[in-house]
Structure 1
Amino acid sequence: MERKVTIEYYSDVLCVWAWIAQRRIDELNSTFGDKINWHYRYVDIFGDAKGKIVRQWFDRELFDGFSRHVVEAASAYDTAPVNPDVWTQVQPSTSANAHLLLKAVELTCSEEASVSLALAVRSAFYVDALDISDQDRLLEMAASAGGNAEAIAKCIGSGEAMAALMRDYQLAHEWSLKGSPSYVLDGGRQILYGNVGYRVLAANVEELLRQPAGEASWC
């Protein structure tokens, strides 16, 4: 049986490092194909987005300072454009509404559809400078992408989507994840987070693919 690597990928849709990481995920998929079994999950980094920025950037020009930080962080990556209006003119209140909708799409359609919509949501914020905490806008985006608006609304209203989202948040806490994005590999034996380069990610995947099943640990 062909060996596969499972990666539990945790991110926050408002995290610029996850926006930057998308190119690396695409490259991993291009290189390894179905040898990687992804599980896409969400972590609470910008659940209280405005409060977070006020608390952490109060002495660094608040939203203007944070916006410059985000723009500068992404400036070295031409695959992760950032509209200068983000966080200055457009200030989402939370990432949780987007996470909730994406879990509802995952439950009512498929994980693939949810992942595709997540990329569209990130692009709507970082490229088009749209407020992705607006639930009506999110529902419109889901419907435009082919989602069943009635089924999505029912999934949210019943609490199923919220339960799935809370499970993601709880798992992130159990893994003691330090930030977004985070990659959990080998059943939690390896956890990488933040601005991890493609070669580092690829090397970890390659090593796990080479490791014989049942090989004893050296530790």
Structure 2
Amino acid sequence: MKPLPKPLQITVYQDVLCAWCYLTDLRLESLKQEFGDLIRWRVRPYPLRINDKRPTDKELRGLTEEVRRAQQEPEPVAKLLITELWQGGDAPRTSIPALAALEAARLQGPSARNHLARAMQRAALEQGVNVTRTDVIFELASRVGLNMGPFSAAFHSDDTRKLILDEHSMAASRGVRGVPTLVIGGRWMVCGLRDAAEYREHILTCLGKAHTPRSGSSERMVH
């Protein structure tokens, strides 16, 4: 009997505060169903704000403009995105706590992590809630049904923060400069929000034949 092919691994680097990552998640959903066991998906944290400090007025204007640009995308959910997260007076200082919560949830299974991620994205990007606050994190974790004892222990662990910082350093050393970024097969890097059809094309290429990046595209080989 011919052995089954080894699944293609796709690593998705993302930050829960990023509107582009939220839209990318939605576009990848149909591809996850289409390709099934042919692909092993790996979602990893890449904090856009590492240092714990208040965003400058210039940074807030830039972050607000990013959301406004995301609002123009064709998905119905894009029209639900709001800018209050960066304009409401309680802007996140760093995304580390939110990403630590997702890593703590992951210990209870990938679906637990995914449910919390979606709840945090909706709260932050559709309601303007600062999901890096501990009280908000624990409310959302309880709401999605996590086992709060183990979640609390993992969330407060220094090892969880170290894991996120180590992941960031490793990703940066491989050429990741922002999110969303997909690394396909450990070989090709696709940066920024793309159409679902384009993601599909990249996946099919890596599953079946050699791929030559398009001239002028933001695709490159992983170092």
Q: TM-score range by the shorter chain?
A: 0.7 to 0.9
Q: Which residue of 2 aligns with 1:215?
A: none
User: Superposition pairs for residues 162-173 of structure 1, below 5 Å?
Assistant: 162-173=161-172
Q: Which residue of 2 aligns with 1:27?
A: 30
Q: Which residue of 2 aligns with 1:130?
A: 129
The structure-2 alpha-carbon separation of the partners of 1:75 and 1:141, relative to structure 1 and needing over 3 Å to count, comes to: same
Root mean square deviation, CA, Å: 2.2
**Structure 2 residue runs without a partner (length 5+):** 211-223
- Please report how far the alpha carbon of residue 87 of structure 1 lies from its aligned counterpart in structure 2 after TM superposition: 1.1
Equivalent residue of 1:104, what SS?
helix
- Please report how far the alpha carbon of residue 179 of structure 1 lies from its aligned counterpart in structure 2 after TM superposition: 0.8
Q: Which residue of 2 aligns with 1:40?
A: 43
Equivalent residue of 2:85, what SS?
coil
- Please report how far the alpha carbon of residue 182 of structure 1 lies from its aligned counterpart in structure 2 after TM superposition: 0.6
- In structure 2, what is the Cα distance between the partners aligned to 1:49 and 1:66? 16
Are 1:13 and 1:121, in contact at CA under 8 Å, matched by a contact in 2? Answer: yes
**In the alignment, residue 97 of structure 1 is paired with which amino acid?**
P
Q: Which residue of 2 aligns with 1:199?
A: 197
- Please report how far the alpha carbon of residue 114 of structure 1 lies from its aligned counterpart in structure 2 after TM superposition: 0.8
User: Superposition pairs for residues 1-219 of structure 1, below 5 Å?
Assistant: 1-48=4-51, 51=54, 53-54=55-56, 58=58, 63-64=60-61, 66-77=63-74, 78-80=76-78, 81-89=80-88, 90-107=90-107, 109-187=108-186, 189-211=187-209
The structure-2 alpha-carbon separation of the partners of 1:19 and 1:12, relative to structure 1 and needing over 3 Å to count, comes to: same
TM-score by length of 1: 0.83
- Please report how far the alpha carbon of residue 23 of structure 1 lies from its aligned counterpart in structure 2 after TM superposition: 1.8
- Please report how far the alpha carbon of residue 149 of structure 1 lies from its aligned counterpart in structure 2 after TM superposition: 1.4
Are 1:11 and 1:182, in contact at CA under 8 Å, matched by a contact in 2? Answer: yes
- Please report how far the alpha carbon of residue 120 of structure 1 lies from its aligned counterpart in structure 2 after TM superposition: 1.1
Are 2:102 and 2:117, in contact at CA under 8 Å, matched by a contact in 1? Answer: yes
- In structure 1, what is the Cα distance between the partners aligned to 2:157 and 2:118? 26
**Structure 1 residue runs without a partner (length 5+):** 213-219
Aligned length: 204
Equivalent residue of 2:182, what SS?
strand
The structure-2 alpha-carbon separation of the partners of 1:99 and 1:69, relative to structure 1 and needing over 3 Å to count, comes to: closer
The structure-2 alpha-carbon separation of the partners of 1:93 and 1:3, relative to structure 1 and needing over 3 Å to count, comes to: same
**In the alignment, residue 114 of structure 2 is paired with which amino acid?**
V
- Please report how far the alpha carbon of residue 84 of structure 1 lies from its aligned counterpart in structure 2 after TM superposition: 3.8
- In structure 2, what is the Cα distance between the partners aligned to 1:94 and 1:42? 13
**In the alignment, residue 104 of structure 1 is paired with which amino acid?**
A
Seq. identity, %: 23
- Please report how far the alpha carbon of residue 48 of structure 1 lies from its aligned counterpart in structure 2 after TM superposition: 4.2
